[in-house]
Amino acid sequence: MGFGGFDIFNTFFGHRRAQRYGVQRGADLRYDMEIILEDVSSGLEREINVSRREICEVCNGSGAEPGTQPKQCPQCKGTGQVQHVRSTGFARFVQITRCNACRGKGRIVESKCKSCRGSGLVSRTRKISVKIPKGIESGSRLRLSRQGEAGEQGGPSGDLYVVIYVKHHKIFQRSNSNILCDIPIGFTQATLGAEINVPTLNGKVKLRIPKGTQTHTIFRLKGKGLPRLHGYGRGNELIRVIVRTPKKLTSKQKQLLTKLAKELGETVSKKKGFFK
Ligand SMILES: [Zn+2]
Ligand SMILES: [Zn+2]
């Protein structure tokens, strides 16, 4: 050390030098999976194909042809780093960079493994089984620990994240563990009462519409919703009935309705239509 000099890097970041640059954790991977609302209801297990880099089986990740050994890098003496010392006036700076000779690995492979071309890693496609819990929300991430890419130089593997998207359902809307749907009914059914078939996630069930039901009335099918992710039981199915007004009537239907209107004391248009 020079006169009055001080070694900034070693003083403050000295601990970093202990770390080998070559050892790296593998990258995390992401897989987007689309499921349907029925899958949320029942839960499912699905196999996915994941392409990832794995440790080469031939050289065990060393990158050296079997029977040979990688040798210590003479440039950095196996540390993977080189020091550049710079002096400006009284200060002496030590800059540490990655060794170019071995690209930070600390070792040099002279006869490269033919299987991985010396990288120690090979690309593989694996079938991985993913268990999707009941009641999962769209946008949830499932973490499969250590199923990502292999690390370099013996570093740990990354994780695999499976991101779940629940497809839009053509009948049901979701609200947490409840499902909602609109069901049209005729105005005579609403007036006189009826028993109608309504869809659920497990086929059709009968729903009794009491007489005098108003449009937009909501009926609840208890326990016909989705399983609660963090809890017991299921949510409900909420059915909103929409009372339809007939648009076209035969003359006989019109006569009957006109009689009904008179009976109810309601005034109705007598002419065929305003524009005719
Ligand atoms: Zn290899
Ligand atoms: Zn080196």
Q: Which domains does the chain have, with CATH numbers?
A: 22-68+112-166 (2.60.260.20), 71-108 (no CATH), 173-264 (2.60.260.20)
pLDDT above 90 coverage of the chain, percent = 70
Residue 98 clears pLDDT 60, i.e. is over it: yes
**Element containing residue 93 per DSSP (H, E):** strand 91-98
8 or 263: which leads in pLDDT: 263
Expressed in angstroms and rounded, the spacing between residue 253 Cα and the centre of ligand 2 is 94
Over range 72-78, report the average pLDDT: 91
Average pLDDT of the segment spanning 89-117: 88
**pLDDT higher than threshold 50 for residue 178:** yes
Our CA angle for 249, 251, 253, nearest 5°, is: 55
Give residue 28 CA to ligand 1 midpoint distance, Å: 22
Tell me the CA–centroid distance for residue 71 and ligand 2, in Å.
Answer: 10
- Mean pLDDT throughout 212-239? 95
How many A from CA of 75 to the centre of ligand 2?
A: 5
pLDDT of residue 1: 35
Among 159, 244, 160, residue whose Cα is nearest residue 194: 244
Percent residues over pLDDT 70 in the chain: 90
Lookup: tokens for 78: 């196996």
d(CA 244, CA 8): 81
Question: For residue range 186-203, what is the model confidence (pLDDT) as tens digits?
Answer: 999 999 999 999 999 999
Chain mean pLDDT for the chain: 88
Q: Are 164 and 134 in contact (CB under 8 A)?
A: no
CA nearest neighbour of 240 among 190, 189, 200, 182: 182
- What's the confidence (pLDDT) of residue 119? 87
Confidence tier at 12 by pLDDT (50, 70, 90): very low
Q: Are strands 121-132 and 44-55 parallel, antiparallel or unpaired?
A: antiparallel
pLDDT at 229: 84
**Is there a contact between 70 and 63 (Cβ–Cβ < 8 Å)?**
yes
pLDDT-based confidence at residue 107 (cuts at 50, 70, 90): confident
pLDDT at 232: 86
pLDDT at residue 38 above 50?
A: yes
C-alpha of residue 229 to centroid of ligand 2, in Å: 52
Q: 128 forms bridges with which residues in the sheet?
A: 48
**Residues 134 and 42 sit within 8 Å (Cβ to Cβ):** yes
| The pLDDT value given to residue 14 | 37
For β-strands 237-244 and 91-98, DSSP reports them as unpaired
CA of 17 to the centre of ligand 2 (A): 14
Write down the pLDDT at residue 16: 40
**Strand, coil or helix: what is 119?**
coil
- From the CA of 120, how far away is ligand 1's center (Å)? 5
Closest Cα partner for 71 from 38, 41, 101, 51?
Answer: 101
Ligand nearest to the CA of residue 58, numbered in listed order? 1
pLDDT tens for 145-154 read: 999 999 987 8
Q: Nearest bound ligand to CA 108? A: 2
- Tell me which residue of 184, 186, 209, 187 sits closest to 196, measured CA to CA: 209
